[in-house]
A and B are shown apart, each in its own frame.
Chain A
Amino acid sequence: MLGQNENGVKKRMESRVMLNKVMMVLFFLATTVGLIFLGLLFYRVLTQGIGYLSWDYIRSFPAPYPDKAGIWAGLIGSIMLMAIVAVFSVIIGVSTAIYLEKYASKNKFTDFIRINIQNLAGVPSIVFGLLGLTFFVYMFQFGYTLMAGGLTMALLVLPVIVVAAQEALRSVPSEIEQASYGMGASKWQTIARVTLPAAIPGILTGTIIALSRAIGETAPLIIVGAATAIYTLPDSVLAKYTVMPIQIYNWTGRPQEEWQYVAGAGIIVLLAILLLMNSIAVLIRNKFSRRL
């Protein structure tokens, strides 16, 4: 009697353990779907684009024939756009973070700003495009220029930078700020000379992540009028421009197969730049996390 019962328990146990194993494999496989997809995507892009990738491709402007077209205008446009985005989003974002962390008393108003930033992060990027269209393109009369695109993108990535900078500021040990105050330093002196320098690695990493988000964005720039065909490089912030994603989008939409390869080559350049930016971010993080 007892033996039988024990046997039953044992059997059930076995099947439960079995189920556990089967499900574990299933969970693992589900995890690999994303990874396989990623692998396929890279493989596909590389095999499609590599044939068209050359120094000529990088240095050429758009052209009506696939074998003459190049990414130069987009590459330079993207870099110039990044510079504008970086200047505005870092100054405004880091200042916002300092204000929230160091100056604002923790009250309804700061809560409001915090929730507001959280919500901004969830607004679809294309809505930022509409914002930029109303304000920067028409109201401020920048037109379809780098400046309009840059400011729109700066607002788009602002939440990323604010949150990263807040985190970086919070992780600065208060002991060293105390030490500064103890030397008779004022509040701003302490922030500028002690807190901010110690927070710079975190802020830099956040900035790079924000910029790599901006460099891949397409939709808002379509709305604020990044051009598709540009045959000269922008010579001021109030010049017409294009960026890599816009060019890629434009080529992808063309019916002849060759344009897909041109687009593929553009994607390789774009992904290479993203890879570079992320490696820098990782390097910074590793270099400084060892120290603290």
Chain B
Amino acid sequence: MGGKMTTDTGIEFADTPDFRKKIRAWLEDNCPADMRDGASGEGANCWGGRNWVFSSEGQRTWLERCAAVGLTVPTWPKAYGGAGLSRDQEKILKEEMAAIGARSPLNSFGIWMLGPALLKFGTEAQKQEFLPPIARGEIRWCQGYSEPGAGSDLAGVQTRAEDKGDHWLVNGQKIWTSYADKADWIFALLRTDRDAPKHKGISFVLMDMRSEGISTRPIRLISGASPFCETFFDDVKAPKEQVVGEVNRGWDVAKYLLTHEREMISAGGQVMGSGRALGAVLANSETGLSDPVLRADAMRTEVDALAMELTLERYKDQAEGGQGVGDASAMLKYAGTELNKRRLELVMAAAGSEALNWEDGRAPTWLRTKANSIEGGTSEVMLSIISRRILGLGA
């Protein structure tokens, strides 16, 4: 890693008056043929990182070309590897990518979660060091929040970091750490003051997963995959400058990051599963059109899905130029993930016995959606956030 600037300043998108035309031409010239199949979801994703094995030469080329002009993180500032696009321009970019079925060149927790938090809370040196490698897909991050004893009650984390003068000494255990076994670095919530009230003694710390004393053990999911792990810290030394924000004020960073995570999970629902229009799913199924109960459920779900799509758009419009949607991300996450679960239930019901074998691929997706309303804060926790912070209902 280093301070090398990534964005090739030879191509200027941000201030182009004829942005759509220019981006369309660029995509046409640069997006490899096998990256135009419209595929999305976990299998089609390029997560990047030191150990990433590209699924094809096209996937590699696509990542490199996008990274060179800042299009892996289009709205980040150019100084940190982005393209400096406005939200309107990003919208156009997405439309143009969708028009040719272009895959997303890179998705990662660095882009979705850590990046926004560093942009807001990081020091200039931290931004310079950590953001460009995320944008280039060189470093893959994982999220060390949850612990066996601290799930919904996240501020109860006990993994501790002791001040040893020139470094922190970290001991404890995280759990449900997605892709910890594949990640290069981890951002973690650690207890740095055991005497302070629980929200006031937590720090947000970055650690290299190669550090001595870090080990991981994969956990198998009901969907058959094992993308998450237990992560153990045994006398791990973390340099002092790897705290983001103030020491003991990590909860602020953690919460801010969660609002981004929740928005991402919510929007993810829109692309997960078998496309958006349930009608097509039903039309292709044996019972879909003749079963009135299924059909009625699907109609309701379709109505709600369209309203959800507009709501995501509305909140993005509102947040433009601002700092994200804040507490309302709880609404987006709750509504989006519950909807996505309904959608995949319908997909399974419409498919009947055809979807009951592992090869078919629908069952793992269906099972995976069950996690949407758990990860990043459960639906119940989202409802509590809404009722307390937005509606002012409380004791």
A and B found bound together = no
Residues of A that sit less than 8 Å from B by CB: none
Residues of B that sit less than 8 Å from A by CB: none
